[in-house]
Amino acid sequence: MKVCVLTWEFPPLIVGGLARHCHGLGKALAEKGHDINVGTLAFPGSPASEEIDGLKVFRASAEIGHPHFITWTLLFNHFLEKRIADIDASADFDVLHVHDWLTAPAGISLKHFAKKPMVLTVHSTEYGRSGLHNPDSYAIDGIEWWASYEASKVIVTTEFMKREVCGHFHLPWDKVEVIPNAIDFSKFNVFVDRDSVRSRYGVSPHEKLVLCVGRLVPQKGVDYLIQAVPRIAHKYRDAKFIVVGEGWLKAHLEYLANQTGQRWRITFTGFIPDLELVSLMKSADVLVVPSIYEPFGIVALEGMAAGVPVVVSQIGGLTEVVEHDRTGIYVYARSSDSIAWGVDRILADPGHARWLTQNAKEKVQNTFSWEAVAMKTINIFEKVAR
C-alpha cells in the first residue's frame, strides 16, 4: 500500500514520543514492502526530501511564523498541505495516516482533495493533558474532535485512551481501534560500561542512581519525584537523582530542587541523544515515571527493555504496560510519599528488583514489537481503503 503519514515531528527532530513512534512504525511497515511517505516540518539545515530507513520523508518549510502556538500550527499546516498535495498528484496514496491534532487540518484537507480515507492516531487529548480552561485549550479540543469525526478509523494505544476518546468525543465504540505502542528492543541489547556512564554524571559506582525521563511539563509529575528526594535520601544517603528532558516547567522544577535542601543530589541534563539515553537507563538503579496523566507510557516500556526496575504512577496507560509487583511497581499519582515508598521497594530488595526486570524484558519482547504493531495497523489501512 501507498501510505502518507503526517506528523509535525520526525527524526532527527525529536521533541517527544511522537517522532519515535512514527519512525518505528513506518520502518516496520516499509520492511513489509509498503510504500511509506512521511510529511513533516522542516528545521534549520534539513533537506527538503530524503530517505530514512526505507521511508520517503518530505519536509515543508513554514514560510510565515507566529509567536502564538495555535496560529503557528495553522500556518505550518497550510504549507504542509501544499507540499503533500504536490506529491500526491504523482504518488496517488491509498490512505492518509494523521498523528494527533497538530497536522489534522492538513490531513483533513488532503482527505477531501485526494478523496482518500484518513486514519487518525490519537496519542493524547487536550482534555486529558491539561483540561479545558481557556480559549486555546477549547480550540485544540475542537480540532481533535473535528479530526476524529473526519477519520474513517481512530487508533489509540490503550483501552484507557479508547474510553477517553469515545466518551469525550462521542465516537462509536467500533470506530476506535486499540494498537499498543512499541519499541525497537534491539537498541537496548548493547553492552554499557555502567561505571563510565555514571561517572559522566557525577555518580559513583556505589551510589544509588534514581532516573526520571520525560518532557518537563505538569502532566509528567516530575515535581512529585523532586518532593520525594528528602525522604528517599534520608534512608539512602548515597542516592543521586537525574532528570532527563526539556520543557517549559524546567525553571520551576529547578526552584523546587533548590527548596529540598538536597540540590547537590539532583542533576537536570536537558535533552540527551537516544544512544546516551539508553546507556543512562542501563546504568540506573531505578527509573521513576511519576506522571499524573499518561495515555501510554513509552518511557516505562523503554526502561523495561533496558533492564532497569520501573516505578510508575497507577494511572492511565501505565497500568496496561506495567503489571504491579511483577514487571514493575505501582505508586499513587500526585504522592511524593508513595513515590518514596516505591523507590525503597526496589532499592531495599535487589533480588526482587532483578526478578522484576527479567519479567519486564520478557513482556516487552513478546508484546510490544513494531512488527506486531505494523501488522495490526496495515489491517486497518486495508479495511478503510476497501
Domains of the chain: 2-182+369-385 (3.40.50.2000), 185-367 (3.40.50.2000)
CA distance 238 to 225: 17
User: What is the pLDDT, as a whole number, of residue 367?
Assistant: 85
CA distance 267 to 259: 14
CA distance 289 to 311: 6
CA distance 356 to 142: 42
* Angle 355-296-265 from CA coordinates, rounded to 5°: 65
User: What is the pLDDT, as a whole number, of residue 131?
Assistant: 87
C-alpha count within 13 angstroms, C-beta hemisphere, residue 134: 3
Question: Is the omega angle on the peptide bond into residue 12 within 30 degrees of 0, that is, cis?
Answer: yes
Strand order in the sheet with 176-178: 49-52, 55-60, 35-41, 2-6, 95-99, 118-121, 153-156, 176-178
User: What is the pLDDT, as a whole number, of residue 122?
Assistant: 97
CA distance 228 to 142: 37
Backbone angles phi, psi at 186, to 5 degrees: -65, -30
Tell me the three state secondary structure of residue 210. strand
Cross-strand partners of 313: 331
User: What is the pLDDT, as a whole number, of residue 16?
Assistant: 75
Using alpha carbons, select from 236, 268, 264, 231 the residue that is nearest to residue 253: 268
Using alpha carbons, select from 190, 195, 189 the residue that is nearest to residue 283: 195
CA distance 110 to 106: 6
CA distance 183 to 44: 28
In 92-134, where does DSSP find H-type helix?
104-114, 126-129
Q: Which residues of 249-259 are buried (b: 16+ CB within 10 A; e: fewer)?
A: bbeebbebbee
Backbone angles phi, psi at 118, to 5 degrees: -120, 135
User: What is the pLDDT, as a whole number, of residue 86?
Assistant: 85
Q: What is the pTM of this model?
A: 0.85
378 CB-near residues (< 8 Å, 6+ apart):
1, 29, 32, 34
CA distance 97 to 99: 7
- Give how far the C-alpha of residue 186 lies from the chain's centroid of Cα atoms, to the nearest Å: 18
Reading the chain (386 residues) residue by residue, the pLDDT tens digits are: 999 999 999 998 888 779 989 999 999 999 999 999 999 999 988 999 999 999 999 999 988 989 999 999 999 999 999 999 888 777 789 999 999 999 999 999 999 999 999 999 999 999 998 889 999 999 999 999 999 999 999 999 999 999 999 999 999 999 999 999 998 888 899 999 999 999 999 999 999 999 999 999 999 999 999 999 999 999 999 999 999 999 999 999 999 999 999 999 999 999 998 899 999 999 999 999 999 999 988 899 999 999 999 999 999 999 999 999 999 999 999 999 999 999 999 999 999 999 999 999 999 988 888 998 999 999 999 999 98
Rg (CA), the chain: 21
